[in-house]
Structure 1
Amino acid sequence: YLPLASYTQLLLSETLFTTLLLCALALLGSWARHGGLPRLAGAGALLGLATLTRGLTLGFLPLVAGWVLLKGEGKRQQGKGWLRSVALPVCLFTLTFCLLLLPWALYASRAYGGLVVVDTTGAFNLALGARTAYDGGRSDAPLRNFVLALLDPTLSPEARRGLLADTQGGSCLYAAGDGRILAALEAPVGAISQAERQGLLNAEAFCLLRAAPGAFVQKSLVELIDLFQINYTGDERLSKGFTLGRLPSWYTLALFLLDDTLYVLALPLAVLGWGLARSRQQGAAVGMRPAVAPLYGLWLIYNLGTAPLLFAINRFRVPLMPLAFVLAGCALAALPGWGRLRSRYGAACATLAGLLLLAAATPYAYLEPLAPGEASRWASYLGPYPSSLASTIKALASRPGYLAEQRLATALGAHDLAAAHTALADPALPAYAAAVGGPLLAGLEGQPTAGLDHLADQATQPLEGWQRSLIAGELFRQLGDQEAARRELGALLVDDQNPVEWAWRWLAPPAAPGGRIAVADDNDLGYVRGFYLGRYDPDLGATVRWATGSSALRFPAVASGAAQQLCLNISGLGWPEDLPLPSVAVSLEETALGSVTLTRELRAACLDLPARPAGSDLIIILRSPTFVPDALDLVRQQGPQVGQLRRLAYQLDWAEVR
Structure 2
Amino acid sequence: MEPASQREQPGWRAALPSVTHLVILGGIIALAMAARMSFWWVQARSGAVPPGDPEEYYRAALHILHGGYHDTGKWLRPPVYPALLAVLLPLAGMNVAGALFLQAMVLSVGVLAFYAAGTQLFGRQDVGLVTALLAAFYVPLASYASSLYAEALFAMLLALALAMLDRALVSGTGRAALGAGALLGLAALTRAVGVYLIPLVVVWTAWLAWRAQGAPGARYRVAATLMLGAAFIIGPWAARNYVIHGRLILSDTNGGISMWYGTVRDDAEQEAGEARLAVVSNLADRQALALRMAWDNIQADPVRFLARMRFKIASLYGLQTRSYAVGDVISIDSRGMQMVQNAGEYRLALTLLADAQYSLLMPLAIAGICFAPRRERAVPTILWVGLATLLAALTIGHPRLRLPIVAALLPFAAYALTILPGVGLRVRALLRDRRSAAALAVMIVFFALTGSLRYLPWLSGMQYAVPGRLALEQRDQALAEMLLTRARTVDQGNPLRTIDLADAAFEYGQYEAALALYREAAALEPRSLYAHAMRAALAVRTDRPDEARAAMQAIDGYWRSGNDLLEWAWTALLVGTPPRVVPGDPSAIGLYAGFAPATPDLTVGRWTLGDGRVRVRGGCGALVINLYGPVGRVVQVTVDEGGIQEQVTLNGAPQEVRLPVASVRDCEYGPPLTVRLRSATSLLDLEAAPWYVGVAVREVRAEP
Name the TM-score class by shorter chain.
0.5 to 0.7
Residue 63 of structure 1 deviates from its aligned partner by 0.8
Q: Quick check: 1:617 aligned with 2:675?
A: no
Change (3 A) 1:216 1:245: same
**Alignment map for 1:572-583 (pairs within 5 Å):** none
Q: Quick check: 1:588 aligned with 2:678?
A: no
Change (3 A) 1:582 1:313: farther
Residue 56 of structure 1 deviates from its aligned partner by 0.9
Residue 215 of structure 1 deviates from its aligned partner by 1.7
Secondary structure of 1:622's match? strand
Which of the pair has more CA radius of gyration?
A: 1
**Deviation digits for residues 114-158 of structure 1 (CA, Å, limit 9, x no counterpart):** 332212222221121121xx44xxx5x75466445655xxxxxxx
Q: Quick check: 1:16 aligned with 2:153?
A: yes
8 Å CA contact retained: 1:239, 1:247: no
Change (3 A) 1:384 1:145: same
Residue 260 of structure 2 corresponds to which residue in structure 1? 127
Residue 526 of structure 1 deviates from its aligned partner by 5.4
Secondary structure of 1:619's match? strand
Residue 349 of structure 1 deviates from its aligned partner by 3.9
8 Å CA contact retained: 1:232, 1:386: no
Unpaired stretches in structure 1, ≥5 consecutive residues:
152-180, 185-191, 278-282, 284-288, 363-376, 405-422, 440-453, 476-484, 573-579, 634-644
Question: In structure 1, what is the Cα distance between the partners aligned to 2:583 and 2:236?
Answer: 47
Residue 58 of structure 1 deviates from its aligned partner by 0.2
Residue 193 of structure 1 corresponds to which residue in structure 2? 282
8 Å CA contact retained: 1:511, 1:556: yes
Residue 617 of structure 2 corresponds to which residue in structure 1? 556
Secondary structure of 1:59's match? helix
Residue 309 of structure 1 corresponds to which residue in structure 2? 394
Q: 1:326 aligns with which of 396, 411, 414?
A: 411
Residue 296 of structure 1 deviates from its aligned partner by 2.2
Q: Quick check: 1:655 aligned with 2:669?
A: no
Residue 245 of structure 1 deviates from its aligned partner by 2.9
Residue 490 of structure 2 corresponds to which residue in structure 1? none
Change (3 A) 1:392 1:122: farther
Residue 244 of structure 1 corresponds to which residue in structure 2? 334
**Alignment map for 1:75-86 (pairs within 5 Å):** 75=212, 77-78=213-214, 80=215, 82=217, 85-86=218-219
**Alignment map for 1:204-283 (pairs within 5 Å):** 204-232=293-321, 240=330, 244-246=334-336, 252-257=348-353, 259-277=354-372, 283=373
Q: TM-score, normalised by structure 2?
A: 0.61
Residue 47 of structure 1 corresponds to which residue in structure 2? 184
**Alignment map for 1:223-622 (pairs within 5 Å):** 223-232=312-321, 240=330, 244-246=334-336, 252-257=348-353, 259-277=354-372, 283=373, 289-332=374-417, 333=419, 335=423, 339=429, 342=432, 347-360=437-450, 362=451, 378-379=453-454, 383-386=455-458, 400=470, 431-439=501-509, 455-456=511-512, 462-464=517-519, 467=534, 470-471=537-538, 473-474=540-541, 485=543, 487=545, 491-493=549-551, 495-497=553-555, 502=569, 505-507=572-574, 509=576, 511-512=578-579, 516-519=580-583, 523-525=587-589, 527-529=591-593, 542-545=603-606, 547=608, 550-560=611-621, 566-571=624-629, 586-589=637-640, 593=645, 603-604=654-655, 606=657, 611-613=663-665, 614-615=667-668, 616-622=671-677
Residue 320 of structure 1 deviates from its aligned partner by 1.7
Secondary structure of 2:627's match? strand
Question: In structure 2, what is the Cα distance between the partners aligned to 1:35 and 1:96?
Answer: 15
Question: In structure 1, what is the Cα distance between the partners aligned to 2:658 and 2:674?
Answer: 14
Secondary structure of 1:246's match? coil
Residue 508 of structure 1 deviates from its aligned partner by 5.0
Residue 312 of structure 1 deviates from its aligned partner by 1.6
Question: In structure 2, what is the Cα distance between the partners aligned to 1:92 and 1:353?
Answer: 37
Question: In structure 1, what is the Cα distance between the partners aligned to 2:202 and 2:453?
Answer: 40
**Deviation digits for residues 6-47 of structure 1 (CA, Å, limit 9, x no counterpart):** 111221222221111111111222232233222222111111
8 Å CA contact retained: 2:209, 2:216: no
Residue 220 of structure 1 deviates from its aligned partner by 0.6
* Identical pairs, percent: 22
8 Å CA contact retained: 1:228, 1:359: yes
8 Å CA contact retained: 1:586, 1:620: yes
Q: Quick check: 1:118 aligned with 2:251?
A: yes
Q: 1:104 aligns with which of 219, 230, 237?
A: 237
Secondary structure of 1:436's match? helix
8 Å CA contact retained: 2:607, 2:697: yes
**Deviation digits for residues 587-641 of structure 1 (CA, Å, limit 9, x no counterpart):** 3338684666778x662253756753434433112356486988988xxxxxxxx
Q: 2:291 aligns with which of 202, 205, 213?
A: 202
8 Å CA contact retained: 1:109, 1:117: no
Question: In structure 2, what is the Cα distance between the partners aligned to 1:401 and 1:461?
Answer: 22
Residue 276 of structure 1 deviates from its aligned partner by 2.4
Q: 1:88 aligns with which of 221, 240, 245?
A: 221
8 Å CA contact retained: 2:182, 2:233: yes
Question: In structure 2, what is the Cα distance between the partners aligned to 1:216 and 1:597?
Answer: 61
Question: In structure 2, what is the Cα distance between the partners aligned to 1:597 and 1:204?
Answer: 55
Unpaired stretches in structure 2, ≥5 consecutive residues:
1-137, 339-345, 482-499, 521-531, 556-560
8 Å CA contact retained: 2:625, 2:697: no
8 Å CA contact retained: 2:545, 2:587: no
Question: In structure 1, what is the Cα distance between the partners aligned to 2:184 and 2:161?
Answer: 6
Secondary structure of 1:130's match? coil
Change (3 A) 1:626 1:329: same
Question: In structure 2, what is the Cα distance between the partners aligned to 1:94 and 1:193?
Answer: 29
Return the letter of the residue paired with 2:383: L
Number of equivalent positions: 507
Q: TM-score, normalised by structure 1?
A: 0.64
8 Å CA contact retained: 1:424, 1:438: no
8 Å CA contact retained: 1:511, 1:558: no
Question: In structure 2, what is the Cα distance between the partners aligned to 1:314 and 1:194?
Answer: 27
Secondary structure of 1:618's match? strand
Return the letter of the residue paired with 2:240: Y
Return the letter of the residue paired with 2:385: L
Secondary structure of 1:312's match? coil
Question: In structure 2, what is the Cα distance between the partners aligned to 1:298 and 1:552?
Answer: 52
Residue 293 of structure 1 deviates from its aligned partner by 2.2
CA RMSD of the aligned region, Å? 4.4
Q: 1:65 aligns with which of 175, 194, 202?
A: 202
Change (3 A) 1:195 1:582: farther
Residue 104 of structure 1 deviates from its aligned partner by 2.4
Higher relative contact order structure (alpha carbons within 8 Å, sequence separation ≥ 6): 2
